[in-house]
Structure 1
Amino acid sequence: MMAVSTRDLHALLGRTDNDNWMRPATVAEVLPFAPRQRGLDLDFPNLAVNFERDTGILWARMKHRERACYTPELMRDMREFQLHLRDSFAGVPAAEIPVRWLVWASGAPKAWSLGGDLTNFTRMIREKDDAALRAYAHLAIDILYDNYVGSELPVLTVALIQGDAVGGGFEAMLTDDIVVAERGAKFGLPEILFNLFPGMGAYSFLRRKVGITTARKLIEDGLSRSADEMKELGLVDVVCEPGQGEAALRGFIEENGGRFQTLRTLQQVRNRVDPVTHRELADVVDMWTDLAMQLTETDLRRMDCLARVQQRKRVGE
């Protein structure tokens, strides 16, 4: 089946007459992308963005108000933010771009991200709404790929993990150049437990980072792992005590600020020698969608259990 184009996907998200995409009882209506804001201090409904000029840190903090996962509303705001960055610095010489570190953080104290929006997944699968699920999945890989290439800007992307990174949250973390994680955070890919697999980049990024054997193990055993275990695998760069994540991040930046260009060039070299392409991600996510649409009611009930965890770990819980 052909991939959904970005233009078609945006049109789908902007429609208000598409009853199969979302129900008001489940998720608020997804609106068209708003007109671009100016500057780097932005407040989207589901994403808070703040720029620190003295450090070069651009904070992007996920609010997770409804569920601690990638809801369609959060994904819309993330994509709008990425497009805003590209537009803001298009044609600007690298030396004049003030952002160096793009940091993804979470407003939920117990979760960085628990992955895809399982509440919507189970609904779309039960209703046999292949088009809506496929559109969601393709928007996800647009976001992850853009983060992987740093929005084509001279920046390093950072995941500040102060709560669990599971499923799609784990996959998103793999697209960041640097990962700082607090002890107590858990990492895992539980999709195999309901006869699915993490289809939005896990195999592509893990194979390049840890090799085929370890990538398969992480995907196929469904186990949860600690920050220290992730560091041993080379998937986390800095591990710190609970509550010390931001201080550890700032310490890393202070220590490595003078090596920024070297760190960034080395990342570019890794991506050039063994690149992940958008086409690869799109092909795999179509396979994921095809398999998801075949899940049984027993599989979906297991997914429902994890959806309730996403609800419990939202902001305020």
Structure 2
Amino acid sequence: MLQVCASPIVDSVAAAGTDDVVGRIRQRAGGFLPEVQLAYEPALKLVWVTIKPELKPVFTLQLLDSLGKIQQAIMDLWGAPERYQASPVRFLAFRGTGPFFTLGGDLDFYLDCLAKNDRAALAEYSRLSIAGAVRNAGCLGGQVITLSTIHAKAIGGGIDAPRSCNVMIAEEQASFVYPEIKFNHFPITAVAILSRRMGARAAERMLMSGEEMSAAEFMAAGGLEAVVPAGTGEDWLRRFAAETLPVHSAKTALYCAFHRRAGDLQEELAHLGAIWTDCMLRLPPSSISKLQRIAQTQDRMLARVYRN
């Protein structure tokens, strides 16, 4: 149980206990959080977000909205500096399920926007992607360390959300690829997010080549904090959380300091988001046809995988 302190602000947080942390997050977020599941481990002060897209393992607009609401709810509830001591959340961790971690951005949504020439919807998708990455990189306003574990293939812009976390690991069977260049496109946040971890040259090589990397290769390029045996990613994050709890304040401060030193991520991503939206809307018919074929290929591939 959380210790009750004299401050009325802290009292209101502590009184909730630890059993209803998920409930409080859901309530603050508006209740409806499609395409995610929440869990809480009180001994570690760790909130798990399991990404569970409903149709395809892609980052849909609904999924991005749910993730953003969860982040913002934690910040609203416990993000003020004076609430730090009594906060039941020290870590926010992301994980996936199924044969893929992600197939990247939502091509069906993109195609629908292009058919309608819907700049506003594309811009909203970009805004949500950017806001989530900025919150992750900035420790949810400086109070919570963000973590992610990748258990399978991660494709395209869907890599960026977990990589925007302070710590990202992968199981040895995972792989990483940005194929966007092959269909005249680029992922919204990848240039900024990858460059901060891998350096600009390594990020450029990965994004320009469109070639797949194993978890070990991605680690060697600077893209991961660790590669772990199959099935052990979540336990690795638990051990990290347990070892970090005694020095959480210092580690959070360091992550925030390095985040600031790297430059204004919000400003950089806003620029990239505008470029991405323009790039999408000026795709020629041949590139749009290629996107359509890729979306259809995804459908057939998923049908085979889930049938087996």
Shorter-chain TM-score bucket reads: 0.7 to 0.9
Asked if 1:260 corresponds to 2:257, the answer is no
The question of 1:62 aligning with 2:51 is answered: yes
Percent of paired sites with the same residue:
26
In the alignment, is the contact (CA less than 8 A) between 1:69 and 1:310 conserved in 2? Answer: no
Give TM-score, length-normalised by structure 2. Answer: 0.82
Q: Match of 1:67, as an amino acid?
A: K
Please point out which of 148, 153, 156 is paired with 1:164.
153
Aligned partners of 2:154 and 2:176 also within 8 Å: yes
Q: Which moved more, 1:218-227 or 1:138-147?
A: 138-147
Aligned mates of 2:68, 2:132 — CA distance in 1: 6
- In structure 2, the residue matched to 1:272 is 260
More helix by share: 2
Match of 1:99 among 86, 89, 102: 89
Task: Return structure 1 stretches of 4+ with deviation > 6 angstroms.
Answer: none
Match for residue 131 of structure 2 among 142, 146, 156:
142
1:192-248 deviation digits (Å, cap 9, x = unpaired): 01111122x211122222222112111111111111111112221121222222222
Once the two structures are TM-superposed, the CA of residue 151 in structure 1 deviates from its matched residue by: 2.0
CA distance in 1, matches of 2:243, 2:25: 35
TM normalised by structure 1 equals 0.80
Deviations 1:258-317 (A, max 9, x none): 443333222122112112431221111111111111112321233234434655559x92
Aligned twin of 2:18 = none
Instruction: Report the Cα distance in structure 1 between the residues aligned to 2:56 and 2:138, rounded to whole angstroms.
Output: 27
Q: Give the corresponding residue for 2:207.
A: 219
- Note if contact 1:180-1:236 (Cα within 8 Å) is conserved in structure 2: yes
Q: Partners of 1:181 and 1:36 in 2: how far apart?
A: 27
| Cα contact 2:92–2:144 (8 A) shared by 1 | yes
| Structure with more relative contact order (C-alpha pairs < 8 Å, separation 6 or more) | 1
RMSD over aligned CA atoms reads 2.4
**In structure 2, what is the Cα distance between the partners aligned to 1:272 and 1:52?**
30
Q: Take 1:214 and 1:90, find their aligned partners in 2: how far apart are those partners?
A: 34
Gaps spanning 5+ residues in structure 1: where? Answer: 1-34
Q: Are 2:46 and 2:93, in contact at CA under 8 Å, matched by a contact in 1?
A: yes
* Structure with bigger gyration radius: 2
Match among 109, 114, 124 for residue 103 of structure 2: 114
- The question of whether the paired residues in 2 share the 8 Å contact of 1:165 and 1:173 is answered with no
Take 2:302 and 2:76, find their aligned partners in 1: how far apart are those partners?
Answer: 34
2:275 to 287, 294, 298: 287
Letter in 1 for 2:128: L
In structure 2, the residue corresponding to 1:96 is in which secondary structure? coil
